[in-house]
Structure 1
Amino acid sequence: MIRFENVSVTYGDPGGAPTLRGVDLTVPEGELVLLVGPSGVGKSTLLGAVSGLVPHFTGGTLKGRVTVAGRDTRTHKPRELADVVGTVGQDPRAHFVTDTVEDELAYGMESLGLAPAVMRRRVEETLDLLGLAELRDRPIATLSGGQQQRVAIGSVLTPHPKVLVLDEPTSALDPAAAEDVLAVLQRLVHDLGTTVLMAEHRLERVVQYADQVLLLPEGVMGPPADIMAMSPVHPPVVALGRLAGWTPLPLTVRDARRGAGPLRERLTGLRPEPRTSNGGRAGSSASPAFEARGSGGGAAGFRFWRRPAREALLSDTLVDVRALGVRRGRVEALRRVELTVRPGETVALMGRNGAGKSTLLGSLVGMVEPTSGSVLVSGRVPHRTDPRELIRQVGLVPQEPRDLLYADTVAAECAAADTDAGAAPGTCRAVVSELLPGVADDTHPRDLSEGQRLALALAVVLTGRPPLLLLDEPTRGLDYAAKTRLVAHLRGLAAEGHGIVLATHDVELAAELAHRVVILAGGEVVADGPTAEVVVSSPAFSPQVAKILAPQPWLTVEQVREAL
């Protein structure tokens, strides 16, 4: 179905280092092939070569030959491959051409001239498959990032292409929505013989669905278990299997649980050291920002968690939200939300797509005005504070990093960040080098991968070292190594007293970093408590290690390694 014959792609100077080098492989019809590798090794470029976007749209020089269903992408432009290849890139907003969900799902079929009756049936099927029926009449601009991603995926499913090319398809989806999308893809592969080529960094979600895994930059393709045994990029279940010496390496929680008995015995009587809210270890002088009262686990038990009296915290608090309500037209985005964040505390906001996480972050940075209730950040009302003053108190990294990037080079972005923050020259560049090693100063931000752009945007905001840092989906597009560097940096900031609030669907990030987890549903807080208590009590938000070693209290491979 897809054939790469000694393919290399070079951007900029044709004599420069190629982004892809000597790729030679065949993807059979009706298989799901997963691309893995560190950020910036050319995964998006390889996917673009299949759809014809590389080099017809992106520019650059393509050497070698790529054929899809017998069509040579050098001579067939993307529009001449549209009936065969459906593509969803990392940024769903760049994909949309209409205003409403239903119109977007129909647009691709209209372009191909399908009969109205066929179009209507396929739209209804796709609305049901992706859980979009309630959103059919909604303007796309009013949807959350995860909802937009599902619409983008649905719009390429309705024409029934033979090949699906997906770049980070679950990165903005909550765990349940991601499982639904992956189940749909598996059904297309198994029942309809669709060929799926997918790049994804959250391997814990997808590796078990793959027929084959392609490792870049090596260009080696094979069965998932074989590639995971050699890949520097691997999910927690594989990392735990390597640590425990399991053979063969498990790819799923179920397989790992079957062989975890001896490891559980070695860990009996041991417990992970909890991090306190000042970023240190248990036993430090800082008091915790929460306490568990009452009894019970599960969703009912969440109702019993209460933080210490608000009056006792006001002298040492960064965020003080009381009975916050936000209404947008007919949609009640937030309802009576209560939230307190202290210096040195890291709080993870979790919940389904559209639960209100980004709206809550927007209210903390003054972008969203409350309909009811109150919001204080460092004693200021955000939406009534001069932005030039507020930016020194709170920094937001949005879901789309390009919203913060305006300059033509990485060096220029860093210089501007230093000037805006009043920081010493080179401050931002040092943060970039820590989060994103190996990127040249003269690189244009648009030539970075999505994960690399995110790291650059993070560095720009971190340069100002605001007392409160807000991150919206901060690990989209980041590989495991980049995520580890980010976690280390954020832990250092928390240890210095910075408050961090991150909205995330990445359960592994919450397990590694957060002191507290707040779960939103329908705009309301339904759980607020210590990370270990909240995530373990929720199957949807529980990390892989917790599922494998339950009922023992381990959340991460790092904790297990330290204990052993």
Structure 2
Amino acid sequence: MIEFKNVCFTYNGGEEKDGIKDFNLTIHKGETLLITGGSGCGKTTVTRLINGLIPHFFESNLTGEVLIHGKNISDEPIYHTSKYVGSVFQNPRSQFFNVDTTSELAFAPENQGIAIAEISNRINKTVSDFNLHSLMDRSIFELSGGEKQKIACASVSVAKSEIIVLDEPSSNLDIAAIEDLRKMISHWKKEGRTVIIAEHRLYFMRELADRMILMSDGKIVEELSAEEIRSLTIGESKKRGIRPLSIKNLSYSNDYVHHSTSFIELSDLRYTYKDKIHRIGIHDIKIKKGSVVAVIGHNGAGKSTFAKCLCGLEKKCKGILEVEGKKCAVKKGLNYSYMIMQDVNHQLFTESVMDEILLSMSDKVTVTDEEKEKQSEEILKSLDLLSLKEKHPMALSGGQKQRVAIASAIAAEKSIILFDEPTSGLDYRHMHKVADCIKDLSKAGKTIFVITHDLELILHCCTDVIHLEQGMLKETYNLNQESIERLKSFFLECFEQTS
């Protein structure tokens, strides 16, 4: 059905470090193919060649052939390709054309000239298949990340795309939303659709993938069958430099013990949303200085709001923050805190990676420009970014942008650093680099709060857990060999059959 014949591709303007080289691949009808590998290995390029974004949208140098149903994708207008290839992007907001959910589901078949009655039938069936009744006739802007991803997937289903391409669809999802995504892919698989997923996070695909290809430097370096995928151990995954195919047997690997006698304390934290229904209410949280605290909870638990309140971004939030014996209103938290957002595009402002780091040092009036630049280079080197210091931040991959934001947080030298999903879109190697960086910050006396759905990250670098549900503190505990089963049970509850 899909054939790559001696394809070589490089980007004009250097959006990615490399494209693909001498690439040959056949994807069979009805196959579910998982593509993985390190950042910049060429996964996204493969998906763009299938859905026609290359060469029709990205300026490029392309040789060889990409054939779908025997037709060269380069010779087909993209509107024709879209009739049988549907795409779900890492950030679903980038593919929406309407402001309400029902209109978004109708958009593709309307543009294909499908009869109104047929469109209505398709929407009703998709809503029923995926249990989306509560999401219909809703504003796109009011949806959570997981809900937006559901609408993007549903749009592909309504369009009846026989080929579905997903580019890192789980990177910004919580565990419940990942399970919903897994069910959608399973549904497409049963319908006989061809599904291609480029991913770093692999465990939810363990029972679904018919084949997995591992890429490096734009080439396929290994191909695994469904049986080989399911038998792959954590150690074997580690040797290949990929995320594990199972999270059940992950172990706690953070042996750092901090001996600080100082504390960060948050008391009487209260915040009410505009709807007057949803709220956050936390009586008291006391954390040792230098701790790395995982903030966990289901979708809507209040994790991101908690973080925004803690660092003073919600000015109507009430509460007291005490840092090293000094008390202040929690709305003054910006004096002590630095937050890295989940969508880092909102906090990258300058023309180069180096300037982005120097911007965070602008308050250091007693440090010379030469010293600032030297410190910036050391930070960039620690995060494998030094070679990109002259690049524009918006020309980087998602994982690279994330690391630039982390580098900016390090440069700001605040007492408290908050990370909102710091490893979304990161491969195995860079996830561990971020984890090691977080541990180094902890050893330097920084107190870290990490909002995350990445169990592997937590087990690698966190010392404590705060569990929130429905805006309330469910429990808090130190992380050690005895308590990890409590943590793992939270992550495994949706995946007992698939992990």
Q: Please give the range of the TM-score, normalised by the shorter of the 2 chains.
A: 0.7 to 0.9
User: CA 1:45 to 1:243, structure 2 compared with 1: closer, same or farther past 3 Å?
Assistant: closer
Alpha-carbon separation, structure 1, partners of 2:120 and 2:301 = 29
1:212 aligned to 2:211? yes
Q: Which amino acid aligns with 2:461?
A: L
Equivalence for 1:408: 351
Equivalence for 1:51: 51
Q: 1:36-72, CA deviations, whole angstroms, 9 ceiling, x for partnerless residues? A: 1111122112111111112322222222221223342
Alpha-carbon separation, structure 2, partners of 1:253 and 1:412 = 39
TM-score scaled to structure 1, two decimals?
0.76
Equivalence for 1:481: 429
Q: Which has the higher strand share?
A: 2
1:467 is displaced (CA, Å) by 0.7
Alpha-carbon separation, structure 1, partners of 2:354 and 2:272 = 39
User: CA 1:407 to 1:59, structure 2 compared with 1: closer, same or farther past 3 Å?
Assistant: farther
User: CA 1:42 to 1:171, structure 2 compared with 1: closer, same or farther past 3 Å?
Assistant: same
1:432 aligned to 2:380? yes
User: CA 1:242 to 1:454, structure 2 compared with 1: closer, same or farther past 3 Å?
Assistant: closer
Contact 2:268 2:284 in 1 (8 A): yes
1:328 counterpart (274, 283, 298): 274
Alpha-carbon separation, structure 2, partners of 1:339 and 1:137 = 39
Contact 1:527 1:534 in 2 (8 A): no
Alpha-carbon separation, structure 2, partners of 1:394 and 1:17 = 33
Alpha-carbon separation, structure 1, partners of 2:119 and 2:364 = 53
SS of the equivalent of 1:105 reads helix
Contact 2:303 2:468 in 1 (8 A): yes
Equivalence for 2:390: 442
Q: Which amino acid aligns with 2:161?
A: P
Q: After alignment, is 399-408 or 27-36 more displaced?
A: 399-408
Q: Aligned Cα RMSD in Å? A: 3.3
2:321 counterpart (376, 379, 386): 376
Alpha-carbon separation, structure 1, partners of 2:199 and 2:253 = 32
How many residues are aligned here?
A: 480
Equivalent positions of 1:262-411 (< 5 A) are 275=255, 280-281=256-257, 285-286=259-260, 316-329=262-275, 331-336=277-282, 338-370=284-316, 373-376=318-321, 378=323, 379-383=327-331, 385=332, 391-411=334-354
1:273 is displaced (CA, Å) by 8.5
Alpha-carbon separation, structure 2, partners of 1:33 and 1:242 = 18
Equivalence for 1:502: 450
Q: 1:388-423, CA deviations, whole angstroms, 9 ceiling, x for partnerless residues? A: xx5452111111111121233323333434435666
Contact 1:436 1:452 in 2 (8 A): no
Equivalence for 1:238: 233
Contact 1:348 1:518 in 2 (8 A): yes
Q: Which amino acid aligns with 2:296?
A: M
Contact 2:352 2:389 in 1 (8 A): yes
SS of the equivalent of 2:408 reads helix
Contact 1:167 1:200 in 2 (8 A): yes
SS of the equivalent of 1:219 reads strand
1:330 is displaced (CA, Å) by 5.3
Contact 2:252 2:484 in 1 (8 A): no
User: CA 1:63 to 1:274, structure 2 compared with 1: closer, same or farther past 3 Å?
Assistant: closer
After superposing on structure 2, the runs of 4+ consecutive aligned residues of structure 1 that deviate more than 6 Å are: 225-229, 271-274
Equivalence for 1:451: 399
TM-score scaled to structure 2, two decimals?
0.86
Alpha-carbon separation, structure 2, partners of 1:68 and 1:420 = 55
Contact 1:473 1:505 in 2 (8 A): yes
SS of the equivalent of 2:172 reads coil
1:470 counterpart (395, 418, 432): 418
User: CA 1:213 to 1:497, structure 2 compared with 1: closer, same or farther past 3 Å?
Assistant: same
Equivalence for 1:223: 224
Q: 1:351-370, CA deviations, whole angstroms, 9 ceiling, x for partnerless residues? A: 22222211111112222234
Alpha-carbon separation, structure 2, partners of 1:178 and 1:356 = 18
User: CA 1:528 to 1:120, structure 2 compared with 1: closer, same or farther past 3 Å?
Assistant: farther
User: CA 1:4 to 1:399, structure 2 compared with 1: closer, same or farther past 3 Å?
Assistant: same
Contact 1:450 1:477 in 2 (8 A): yes
Q: Which amino acid aligns with 2:486?
A: S
Equivalent positions of 1:159-198 (< 5 A) are 159-189=159-189, 191-198=190-197
Alpha-carbon separation, structure 2, partners of 1:188 and 1:243 = 30
1:216 is displaced (CA, Å) by 1.1
